[in-house]
Amino acid sequence: MPMISPNPTPVEYAMEAISHAGTVLGVLAKDGVVLAAEKKVTGKLLDLSGAKEGGYGGSGEKIYLLNSKTYDDLAVLSCAFSNVIGGVAGLTADANSLVNYARTAAQRHLLMYNEDIPVELLAQRLCDMKQGYTQYGGAFIPTIVSLPPTHPSPLPGLRPFGVSLLYAGYDPHYHFQLYHSDPSGNYSGWKATCIGANNGTAQSLLKQEYKDTIEVKDAIGLVLRTMSKTMDSTTLGSEKLEFAVLTLDPETKQPKAKIYRPAEIDALLLAEGLTKKDEDTEMKTA
């Protein structure tokens, strides 16, 4: 468990919350980026029909499309032309706010320049806002969130966003990229990284197995094997795992994001030999 200083700052509290969140793992390959995330909100009574049929920009908990050109088709398609997808670890409500901000920033850039927003620029936009929330009294906030001039300043009671993000994206300048940002507003580029619970163990495993020449098909196996060793769950299945891949469409050469449906995740796990029986099944067969 991460150590907190005797007089922790709000950012340290936010980092502590993230360290207990579901694991999110990303791997950068030569021909794409792979993201996987552990879902904490599970249960037999949970309605997963939206995730099974293809929901709006993802299943709504861990992995999201941040810049999509085909939102109207997401109800029937499992793929969308999007140059940035994101994985979140931390407070889901905070993540929803940042995801909405990122989508708005991406669409504004598209409207203004008629091109997809560069991946690093989108990470910078979010980090600028997140850093503003770390400043005393929130004096920087009105210039970021466009509060009305009559709003009192400084703003009391503000706190940092309790969420870290992984950005997987593609742009013509630097091709496929993977970034991580934390509640302080810092961001960094990675070849492979992990946020959330057990991130230290995952980082060690990735250091041992990652290669600069890795391709998406091998990165998928690496991500699933690493998740199987780091997740706090005794089972590994689609009910506790989200999975997404960003590649280039072979025909249009445009970045294409695929957020896998539960049946497709189970097929991947079966292909990798990682499917585990749940506790109820084991008790019945014992």
pLDDT in tens, 29-67: 999 999 999 987 667 777 766 655 554 444 457 999 999
Q: What's the CA gap between 218 and 209, in Å, rounded? A: 11
70, 77 Cβ separation under 8 angstroms: yes
Query: Which pLDDT score is estimated for 151?
Result: 42
The mean pLDDT value for 68-93 works out to: 73
Query: Which pLDDT score is estimated for 19?
Result: 86
Least Cα distance to 199 among 229, 161, 178 occurs for: 229
Q: What's the CA gap between 228 and 274, in Å, rounded? A: 7
Q: What's the CA gap between 151 and 101, in Å, rounded? A: 20
Residue 282 reports pLDDT greater than 60: no
Residue 138 reports pLDDT greater than 90: no
The mean pLDDT value for 160-187 works out to: 95
165, 85 Cβ separation under 8 angstroms: no
Residue 111 reports pLDDT greater than 90: yes
Provide the 10 A C-beta neighbour count for residue 227: 26
Residue 136 reports pLDDT greater than 90: no
Residue 74 reports pLDDT greater than 50: no
Average pLDDT over the chain, rounded to an integer: 82
Minimum mean pLDDT range among 34-43, 161-170, 260-269: 34-43
Q: Which of the pair, 135 or 76, is modelled with greater confidence?
A: 135
Minimum mean pLDDT range among 69-78, 249-258, 271-280: 69-78
Angle subtended at Cα 218 by Cα 214 and Cα 221, rounded to the nearest 5 degrees: 135
Provide the 10 A C-beta neighbour count for residue 179: 25
Count of CA atoms in the C-beta half-sphere (13 A) of 58: 27
Least Cα distance to 64 among 220, 257, 241, 233 occurs for: 257
Q: Which of the pair, 80 or 25, is modelled with greater confidence?
A: 25
> What global pTM score does this model have?
0.82
**Range from 30-34, 196-200, 265-269 that averages highest in pLDDT:** 30-34
Residue 13 reports pLDDT greater than 50: yes
Least Cα distance to 62 among 34, 22, 10 occurs for: 22
